[in-house]
Amino acid sequence: MTDTSEHKLPVWFWVITVLALLWYLFGVYQAYWASTATREALQPYLDDKTMTPAYADFILSYPAWAQGAFWLATVSGVLGAICLLLRKSIAVPLFGLSALGAVVMYGYNYVLSGKASVFTGFDHVITVAVVLIAFFMFGFARNKKAENWLK
């Protein structure tokens, strides 16, 4: 498969790409939620004990540059997935930015903030999933560009 105009891509390419788009759209929702969180909005989670006060304080004190990394990871991921759907090679650097944003965000969360202890086991699983998916999508896009599946 060498020419993007001469062949039909396999169904699994489209499945991976659509799933990536949905994943990153959910990430945009999470970035919005975290960026606009207030004490009042978090109170129901505190009241029903699904969130600890320490975790709420962590969210509310999240620095703007780390929020920017969160937005970079999610928005560039959405744009990368859209570019994959359109078979555009610009997906590669977009997914690279997404992976970079994820590394910076989680670097803050786990190293720079000094508050890694507020995270639950589920938070650790999500962290690993986000980083693995970000790097997988970057490699996937690079591979498909190298195979001339992208223009």
Map out the domains of the chain as residue ranges.
Answer: 11-146
**Could you report the per-residue pLDDT of 116-128, keeping only the tens digit for each?**
999 999 999 999 9
Specify the pTM: 0.91
Classified as helix, coil or strand, 20 is: helix
Give yes or no for residue 77 having a pLDDT over 60: yes
Mean pLDDT of 85-97: 98
Percent of the chain with pLDDT over 90: 93
- Average model confidence (pLDDT) for the chain? 94
pLDDT at 1: 44
User: pLDDT (tens digit, 9 = 90+) per residue, 36-61?
Assistant: 999 999 999 999 999 999 999 999 99
Q: Report the candidate in 28, 99, 97, 109 with the shortest Cα–Cα distance to residue 62.
A: 109
CA 87 distance to own-chain centroid:
20
Burial class (CB in 10 A: 0-12, 13-18, 19+), 2: exposed
